[in-house]
Structures are given as C-alpha cells and as structure tokens.
Amino acid sequence: MSIIFDNEKKAFLLNTKTTSYIMHIFKDKYLMHVYWGEKMKLPNMLNAIPPRGVGFGANPDSNDKTYSLTAMRLEYPWSGGTDYRNTALDVTFCDGSHTTELRYEKYEIIKGKPALLGLPSTYTESDDEADTLFITLKDALMDLYVVLSYTVYTERDVITRSVKIINNGKNALTIDKVLSANVDFEADYRDYTLMRLHGSWARERHIEYQPLAHGIQKIESHRGASSHQANPFIAMVSKDATEDYGNVYAMNFVYSGNFEAGVEVCELGKPRMFMGLNGYEFAWELKSGDEFVAPEVVMVYSNEGLGKMSRTFHDLYRERLVRGKYRDEARPILVNNWEGTYFDFNEEKIVNIAKEAANLGIELMVLDDGWFGTRNDDTTSLGDWTPNYEKLPGGICGLAKKVNEVGLKFGLWFEPEMVSAVSNLYNEHPDWCIHVKDRNRSQCRHQHTLDLSRKDVQDYVISAINGVLDSANISYVKWDMNRHMTEPGSALLDAKNQKEMPHRYMLGLYRCMNEITKAHPDVLFESCSGGGGRFDPGILYYMPQTWTSDDTDAVERLYIQYGTSMAYPTSSMGAHVSAVPNHQVGRITSLKARGDVAMSGNFGYELDLTNLSAEEKEIVKNQVKTYKMLREFVPSSDMYRLIDPFKKDVCAWEFVSKDKTKVFAGYFRKMIIPNHPDERLKFKALDPDALYRDVERNTEWSGDELMNIGIITEYGNDFTTCTYILEKIS
C-alpha cells in the first residue's frame, strides 16, 4: 500500500515512487499539512506540527490558547474561522451565515482510482497502479461533509486530488467557492518563485516567473475557458532550480473552464499554494442530500528540477489521461486547407490539394471552416451543420470519397459550441445561447456561445455532429471554439442558480465530447480554441491532441512549444508548416526551419500544396519521410529541454527513447550575432558508454562525448535550424 495511516501518530503517509506527502490530525480535530517532498518515513509528529500562535491570531479553542489556525498549516482551509488566509471552501447556509468549521471525521483507503462522475480525470488500467485515500471533514453544526480524495500513483511521482462536498443538513446551502487543492508549505517564500504560463491569442503559454511576495499572487480565468491568457498550470520553483536540479512543486487542473490558482504568502512568510474552480463566476446550490464534486488537480513534486517535473506530467498524460485508439497509435501527417484557402475553396480545390498531398506522402486531408450553411466568411452559419452544396456539390460524403480515392483519409472542422448571429439555428432558438434576459448580447467573431448547461442544447449538438460524422467516411475531427463567454446566464436556470451556468456549461461540454468521441472510436479528434486557447488536461481526456497555436511562425513556435512542454507532452501538440511570409507575424523563415520546428509535435502542413515549387516539394517529401521515422519513437520519448529561448538567442530540445537507443534533437537559432563564438549542443540522458550514429550526417559519436563535449552546431543565418537523429549502434 502506498498510503499508510499511523493511528498513534495520527498521521497519513502517502508514498509515490520517489516522493512523500504527509498529513497529521492535530489535537484530534484539525487536518494539517506536514510535508511534501523527497520520499521519507513518518517523522516524529511532536516536532512536525508544533502548536503555533501569532499576534492577533484568534484561538479556535477557548481552553487552549497555544495555537491559532492562521499561523499553522491547514490542509483544507474554510471561511469564517480563525484562519484569515485564502480559503479553499466558502459556503453560505440557509440562515445567511457563511462560517464553517471543518473537523476531521474519518478516513478510508481503497485500491485503484475511482472516476469522477461527469468530469475528466486521470485513470488507472489496473487497481495495482494506485491507491486512493478519502479523508472526511465535517461541519457538525450544519451536517456538511467535505471528502478530500488523494490518489497516489505507486510507480509515478504523481498525487491527484479532488474534493466532494456533501450536504447532509436539512436545508439547501450555496457553495460560493470550492478549491480542489491547497498546500501550506513550511518553506521560506524568499527561496521560491511562482512559474506560470501566460499568453494571448497566437502567443500562448509563454513562461513567466514571479518572485513570491506577501499577499496573494494568482492567475485565473473567468472567460468560460481555461484560456490563451492563463493556462491552468502553476509551479513553485526554488530559486536555484534548473532543468536538472532543484525543488519544483507543480499543480495542473484537469478542467477546461474558469479556474484560479496561485500562492499566498502569509505574515509569517509561509507560502500557501492553491488551485480550483474560479470563485468569481461560480456559485452552486446544494440541496439537502446532494453532492458536488470538484475537478481534479494533478500534483507533481520534483527534486531534479523542471525537466523531471515535465517528464512526470508527460508520462502520466500520454499513458493515463489520453484515451482511445490514438493514445498508442501513430498520428497521421495531415494537410489542413485553412491558411491555404481560408473560406475560398470548392471541391475541386480541396481534391487538388489532396492529390498533391498524396504525391508527397501526406496521409490526411483536413477541410477546415467554411463547408456548411452559407459560410463564405466568419459572419454566418455556425450551428447549421449542413454542407454548402455550391462549394461541395457532392456534399461531405462526396468530397470524402474523392479524397479517399486519391489515397488520403478525410478530416473535417466543426465549431460545435457556437451559433452565428446569422444562422437558421439562432433564428429558431434565440434563447439557446448564453445570455442575460433583456441585456445586450455581445458578439465575438459574429457569434454566440450555445448554452451547453441545457440538456436540450447538448442533445442538439450531439445529434448534429454525430449526424455529419455518420454521413461520410470521416477519420479526423478538428473541434474548434472561438469565443469566450460574456453576459453569463442561462434561460433555463432559476434566478438563484444563474452563477451555476459556467460550470454546468463545462459539464455539458464534457458530456457532448464524451458522447461524440465514444460513438466514433476510430476518429482522431483534435481540439482547438483559436489555436491553444483550451490546451488543458480536461480536454486531453477526450481528445488526444490540441492545435497548439494559430501562430505557425517557426520562431514564435519555439516559445509556444517550449512553454507548452512544461506540462504537456509533444504527442498532445499539433504543429504544422505554413506558408511565408507567415500569416500571423509576416516573418520569412526557410521551409527547413518551419519543418524542423513542427517535427517536435504532431506534424502537418497548413498551406496550399499546389503552390509549392518542384524544389519545395522535394523538401516536403523528405520532411514527411523523416517524420514517419520520428513518430515511431518521439511521441513516447523522454523530453529534455536543452536551451531556453526565453533566456537565449537559441532554443534546443531533445527526445530520448526510453531505452536510450534513439534520439531526436532540434537546435534553433533566432537572430544571428555577428562574429559569434562557436556554439555547442550538449545532449542529455544518453548512454555514456554507447556509440551513436548521426543518421543524417553519417558521423559517429560516443554518448559521453555528446553529453560532455557536445556537437558544434551549424551557424548559418537568421532562423537557421539543425536537427540530429541519432541511433545507438553499439
């Protein structure tokens, strides 16, 4: 068992492969956090949680003035009591009071990991992979139960947490805020920085460090999506940490909607790290006897820096978050017509691109936006999922057949969650979108968000999308989502339940994704939200890959893919070669550079292949050939970030197969520096005693030479890139 309860010490010990997490029941009442870090045995609890008071700290127990909760490390803090810091749970009871007191009640340990009803979560394939601890806390006055759950993966350095709130009281209550994880550290805040992945459309998941300071520093989204602006990932990183060294504590939310996460540094300089649903756009009525389950947080501790943290997330996500056939199967190389044609295409044009793609070895033709209703620009037709027969005389079925005939699979774009202001669906059901009665309905890209908190709307989406998927031989779906919520409200919810809409929307969205993906197990689903606006573990549970960004410029992608790799594996990132000048930033980079960068993700093209010169076609053929070799091992390899583009003029990363026999590394220059020194690329994690062959250059290197002396890289001009494919030969 990886979870132990010591009755004498009143302590829980949770052991992952190399880490431990410890809690203690203080004075038989309060659940305290003791430790999260390197693996250890249970300590002497006398010293681990000494009673602690502080000036102006109130005492919860009038008979014992030795401690105040605001000075101690609470495992799951509540509102209204003697802990003045950021709370994990805020509840309003029927009498208007919003004070709780959560006391330890009981625990249970089970083998395996139960699923979270209606929510995405990491999973196990056998009960031996993990154990789960449930700790029940109780507010005695109101008969409110809070069940904290901790799953410990025995062979991974992962603990997942979620929380269930049960109202056993006689009256309904309102949950105003419920976080899924809270950790009170004993560390000195001055030794840590907060790392987060901030961004914007076309500039997602840039790495940012913020020194910790007294008070709350947090990131959040209340846009109704995890968002481009703030990814639901944070890490507390020791100031001396590197890719290979130092302490890192990370949290990632398995959820795709509004969230908050951050660190509060208290008056004693101790950090409190937290993550969960965003309390601003949230309230949930819990009737007597009802339960509410908060989404999962994945927690990873690494004592070997950021690199080990990322590899732990990568392994977990590709093996025990992503599901279905494509979890383990190679992903097809695709061409998407979006940047090649935008809305200006017809059947002939798409078939011609597909023919060219077939000649080049590409395997899948994806038809993007504009195939339905009367959609010739972005002003109409979302929601009207019937083919535009003017553009596609044979409909989707006819086009798919023609694409199949030239030897390619066929894929299709949808934006299922939306309705255009100009559409039949909006005319017929104006109340089916998110809105507040009598208020202006703001548009974004001329569209409204369908109210997926409603079952009838979910049912429409499921049947409309399934209908198209069943009407033709469709092997791939791009599920897009291009606006954030405004005027959050639902026509069906009672006045007092309006704030439930954003979370109900997510539950509805997950139901739609579940039903549609389950009905089409052979289809590869790629999620997208104006690029990477919903790149989160919640969506990855339903769809194994996400379109990383609408920005396909080779240089911009270095930052985006490097930042994304902090939590998400390469097998989850869509990465395509597009035309130059780049449509987002106007930069001109070589076809080689664009290919070299894209090969570190799920590879494809996003341009009109019929416009390529003969010379370019040869390059593409070779890229396709190379990627077919790389996809045999890169998606399941260990990733090592070698040079950080946020700090240097170059960027480099490396993928090493688990058995260390195959390696793919990329070295990417941004701008050249005149009169530069030689630059070397030093590899990591190779077999030092082995001999490796560089398959492209036909040179041989020993593993220790590659790691300790390194290879002098080609310098070239601005945006020069080099890749290295190494095979162990002895």
Strand order across the 638-643 sheet: 638-643, 650-656, 662-669, 721-728, 691-694, 699-702
Q: Does 284 bind ligand DGJ (CB under 6 A)?
A: no
Q: Which is nearer to ligand DGJ, 185 or 559 (CB)?
A: 559
DSSP 713: P
Q: Which is nearer to ligand DGJ, 534 or 641 (CB)?
A: 534
Both tokens of 628, joined, read 């077919």
User: From the candidates 480, 536, 551, 608, which is the catalytic residue?
Assistant: 480
List phi, psi (to 5°) of 566.
-55, -45
Q: Contacting ligand DGJ (CB under 6 A), which of 89, 250, 528, 597?
A: 528
Per the CB < 8 A criterion, the answer to whether 270 and 189 are in contact is yes
Q: Does 411 bind ligand DGJ (CB under 6 A)?
A: no
Q: Contacting ligand DGJ (CB under 6 A), which of 416, 531, 569, 604?
A: 531
Q: Under 8 Å CB-to-CB from 630, ≥6 apart: which residues?
A: 599, 664, 725
Which positions from 547 to 576 touch ligand DGJ by CB under 6 A, shown as an x/- string?
Answer: x--x--------------------------
Q: How many other C-beta atoms lie within 10 A of the C-beta of residue 38?
A: 11
Per the CB < 8 A criterion, the answer to whether 499 and 436 are in contact is no
Helices marked H in 387-499 — which ranges?
395-405, 424-428, 455-471
Q: Does 679 bind ligand DGJ (CB under 6 A)?
A: no
Residue type, 354: A
Q: Does 369 bind ligand DGJ (CB under 6 A)?
A: yes
User: From the candidates 139, 176, 550, 553, which is the catalytic residue?
Assistant: 550
Q: Which is nearer to ligand DGJ, 249 or 547 (CB)?
A: 547
**Is 95 one of the catalytic residues?**
no
Q: Under 8 Å CB-to-CB from 255, ≥6 apart: which residues?
A: 119, 120, 226, 232, 277, 295, 296, 506, 536, 537, 538
Q: Contacting ligand DGJ (CB under 6 A), which of 482, 486, 546, 582?
A: 482
Q: Does 608 bind ligand DGJ (CB under 6 A)?
A: no
With H, G, I as helix, E, B as strand and everything else as coil, classify residue 502.
helix
Which residue matches tokens 């190399």?
18
Residue type, 186: E
Query: Smallest distance from the beta carbon of 531 to ligand DGJ, in angstroms?
Result: 5
- Select from 232-240, 258-266, 490-498, 525-533 the region that touches ligand DGJ (CB under 6 A): 525-533
HSE-CB at 585 with a 13 A cutoff on CA atoms is 16
Q: Which residues does residue 653 pair with via DSSP β-bridges, in sequence order?
A: 641, 666
Query: Smallest distance from the beta carbon of 530 to ligand DGJ, in angstroms?
Result: 5
- Select from 47-55, 248-256, 526-534, 538-546 the region that touches ligand DGJ (CB under 6 A): 526-534
Q: Which residues does residue 111 pair with via DSSP β-bridges, in sequence order?
A: 131
| Total residues binding ligand DGJ (CB under 6 A) | 11
- Select from 187-195, 293-301, 527-535, 678-686 the region that touches ligand DGJ (CB under 6 A): 527-535
Q: Contacting ligand DGJ (CB under 6 A), which of 530, 538, 563, 601?
A: 530
Q: Does 385 bind ligand DGJ (CB under 6 A)?
A: no
Rounded distance between C-alpha atoms, residue 343 and residue 340, angstroms: 9
Q: Which is nearer to ligand DGJ, 281 or 606 (CB)?
A: 606
Per the CB < 8 A criterion, the answer to whether 453 and 488 are in contact is no
**Is 368 one of the catalytic residues?**
no
* CA–centroid distance for 130 within its chain: 22
Both tokens of 188, joined, read 């000195």
List phi, psi (to 5°) of 127.
-65, -15
- Select from 43-51, 429-437, 528-536, 701-709 the region that touches ligand DGJ (CB under 6 A): 528-536
Q: Contacting ligand DGJ (CB under 6 A), which of 104, 413, 510, 605?
A: 413
With H, G, I as helix, E, B as strand and everything else as coil, classify residue 26.
strand
- Select from 95-103, 302-310, 454-462, 523-531 the region that touches ligand DGJ (CB under 6 A): 523-531
Q: Which is nearer to ligand DGJ, 486 or 552 (CB)?
A: 552
Q: Kindly report the length of the chain.
A: 730
Query: Smallest distance from the beta carbon of 32 to ligand DGJ, in angstroms?
Result: 46
Q: Does 131 bind ligand DGJ (CB under 6 A)?
A: no
Query: Smallest distance from the beta carbon of 604 to ligand DGJ, in angstroms?
Result: 11
The residues assigned a catalytic role are: 480, 550
Contact positions vs ligand DGJ (CB under 6 A): 338, 368-369, 413, 480, 482, 528, 530-531, 547, 550
